Structure 1
Amino acid sequence: MSRPTGATPALAVGLAAMAATVVLWAGFALSIRGIGASDLTALDTAFLRFLTPLVVLAPWIPRALRRVRHERGGVLAALCVGAGLPYFLIAAWGGSLTSAALVGIVIPGTVPLFVTVLAFGLWRTRARPAQLGALVLIVLGVAVTVVAAVSPDQVTGVAVLLCAGLVWSVYTLALRETTLDPVSAAVVLCAPSALLSGVPILLRLVPSSLTGGAATRDVLTFVAVQGVGVGVLAALCYATAIRVLGGPVAATLGALSPVLTLVVAAPLLGEPVTVATTATLLLVLTGVVAFNLLAARPARRPAPPPAETADRSPELEPSC
């Protein structure tokens, strides 16, 4: 059977969107770790992260406000907490105690684990037995990092990153439940986060470099990487990749982001590529890929009963 004419261009678009997503996700991990090397505080960068998408997406704000009235309050709260200011500050805290590589590995790598646990707790949804083995690999990967930690701060940092992964899992489940389109969802989660981070800064209630003394280079870097890259482009590119490639394929390809983070963090931030970090990456990456591939496999249907014992109800009889 010949493939449809439009299949190849669509596949190219989907792969390009996923490649951009991987780069942008890696940029998130690298920039989170880079906060400590800048003049900005974590709250400063959070304000830039959430204000920038509101400026870029300003023409779509009225539509988002109309649609948000029809969304459930619990879903809205999960979106705002799971990918808003609480998540950002937790991720920034964990990054300050660990490394960009671990930010890129632990947070997205533990999402399948936490999503599985939350889905079971909320809806009694069970993972396939084979997927549980993949989750064990993820747990082992995190355990390697904890065992190999060289300081109590690093152990604390891994624990904080696990909390960030849990919070991001709440956002992941909220995305499954929401009726909002990606642009409206981005506006909805950025608005309260920009307000909560901006008011203390503008009223000088917290230390901030944005009100004076911040290097223009640092501000522009975080506006570009966090605001435009993560806040706008990553959401739109990932939504495009899911629509074209399918959720399991997109999620599997997204597992390449920690690899890119690890490779780039070495020359850019001077982070050493240790045996423990490499082992953690391999275990978590294998677990994530296996989990997503098993999710994409159709469920095996039970074999039909033999003809002589099958139910022969008249309404199921074939007509001549």
Structure 2
Amino acid sequence: MDESGRRRSGYVALAATVLLWASFALSSRAIGGSSLTEQDAALVRFAVPLLVLAPLLPRTVRALARERCATVALLLAGGLPHYLLFALGAQLTSAGLTGLLVPGTVPLFVTLLLLGQRRVSPRAWASLGAIVAGVVASATMIGDGAGPSGITVLLVAGAVWAVYTLGLQRTSLRPLEIVVAVCAGSTLAALALVGSGLAPSHLLAGSVRPTDLLSFVVLQGIGTGLLSTLCYTHAVRALGGGVAAVGGALSPVVTAVAAVPLLGEAIGTGLAVALVLVVAGVIGFNAAPRPAPVRPAVLREQPADLLGVVQLRPVAAAVDA
């Protein structure tokens, strides 16, 4: 494939990635109106990719045996703990705010976690200030549909994803091995929760509507768990990390716009202001000059690249996640 064809395929992959990230936020918001519990949705989200990638399980187990326990713990934080926080925040707020706050605040939390290890340029600090202003706007200008409790939960989810991001930077596992490890740990934990009776499960009780189950298998199990990772990886390779990360910042906008017809949500003044501030901050942060590290041996990536790393495995990301 020539250069122009490679770039075209990269833009197609990036567009697909943005849509898949938006579908994750929208479907997480829709859990409350489905016949699945949050734990059921988590089982689908993590068990489906694990089944598809099951042939990689022995190799992943061997790789995990060589990995540091602290790094494994950081990676597992991006699995079930982050998912349940994300889903709870989605129920307490709106899809637009859910798609905005978690990926939007991750650069802020990562920068705070790495203070003293990386120099941050003035432009990057200004961009982080815009993100903070967007969070403040969301907390003060958005009505009862997005109360402070939901915003707080989403901010905690963003912080947990930042912890996961640090695990990504420290691990020696390959990308698909990370997916298998996180999905395996999260599936076992979710099964333990519902099997012990600590969390309800309509799925294990056999009372889930087949259409709901199929929707979540497609959107979250296959879409988020597999396709978004593959599409974003190709976009980064074809377009470069900077273009892919900035393009990924459109995901909150797509989520907010799509939530209007799909979920009956409105884009009010508060959400519009928060969208502009946070998206502008994320774009500015990724466009900021890359500073030299204070301790080069600590990390292999620089903070200016972190949105791309975060969204590679969304939540969700996240990937993202």
- TM-score, length basis structure 1: 0.86
- Give 1:134's aligned amino acid: S
Distance change (3 Å), C-alpha of 1:167 and 1:28:
same
C-alpha separation in 1, matches of 2:105 and 2:288: 16
Residue 293 of structure 1 corresponds to 287
- SS of match in other structure, 1:71: coil
Distance change (3 Å), C-alpha of 1:274 and 1:49:
same
- Please state if 1:228 is matched with 2:222: yes
Q: Of the candidates 111, 131, 152, which is equivalent to residue 116 of structure 1?
A: 111
C-alpha separation in 2, matches of 1:63 and 1:232: 18
C-alpha separation in 1, matches of 2:146 and 2:14: 34
Q: Of the candidates 175, 182, 192, which is equivalent to residue 175 of structure 2?
A: 182
Q: Of the candidates 37, 41, 56, which is equivalent to residue 60 of structure 1?
A: 56
**Residue deviations 1:156-206, cap 9 Å, x none?**
101110111111111222222222221111000010110111133245453
Residue 82 of structure 2 corresponds to 87
Residue 131 of structure 1 corresponds to 124
- Give 1:197's aligned amino acid: A
Percent identity between the aligned chains? 45
The farther-off stretch of 252-261 and 70-79 is 70-79
Residue 98 of structure 1 corresponds to 93
Residue 310 of structure 2 corresponds to none
Residue 252 of structure 1 corresponds to 246
Residue 69 of structure 1 corresponds to 65
C-alpha separation in 2, matches of 1:169 and 1:102: 18
- Please state if 1:162 is matched with 2:155: yes
Structure 1: state its 5+ residue gaps.
Answer: 300-320
Which residues of 2 match residues 138-287 of structure 1 at below 5 A? 138-151=131-144, 154-210=147-203, 211-287=205-281
Residue 302 of structure 1 corresponds to none
Would the aligned equivalents of 2:22 and 2:252 in 1 still touch at CA under 8 Å?
yes
- TM-score, length basis structure 2: 0.86
C-alpha separation in 2, matches of 1:33 and 1:53: 21
Count of matched residue pairs: 292
- SS of match in other structure, 2:120: coil
**Residue deviations 1:105-135, cap 9 Å, x none?**
0001111111111122xx6212111110011
Would the aligned equivalents of 2:129 and 2:281 in 1 still touch at CA under 8 Å?
yes
Would the aligned equivalents of 2:127 and 2:285 in 1 still touch at CA under 8 Å?
yes
Larger Rg: 1
Structure 2: state its 5+ residue gaps.
Answer: 294-321
Residue 18 of structure 2 corresponds to 22
Would the aligned equivalents of 1:18 and 1:250 in 2 still touch at CA under 8 Å?
yes
Residue 305 of structure 2 corresponds to none
Q: CA deviation at 1:207?
A: 2.0
C-alpha separation in 1, matches of 2:91 and 2:14: 28
Would the aligned equivalents of 2:86 and 2:157 in 1 still touch at CA under 8 Å?
yes
- Give 1:277's aligned amino acid: L
Distance change (3 Å), C-alpha of 1:166 and 1:92:
same
Q: CA deviation at 1:71?
A: 2.1
C-alpha separation in 1, matches of 2:178 and 2:198: 29
C-alpha separation in 2, matches of 1:205 and 1:117: 34
**Runs of 4+ more than 6 Å apart:** none
C-alpha separation in 2, matches of 1:179 and 1:239: 17
Q: CA deviation at 1:38?
A: 0.4
Would the aligned equivalents of 1:182 and 1:239 in 2 still touch at CA under 8 Å?
no
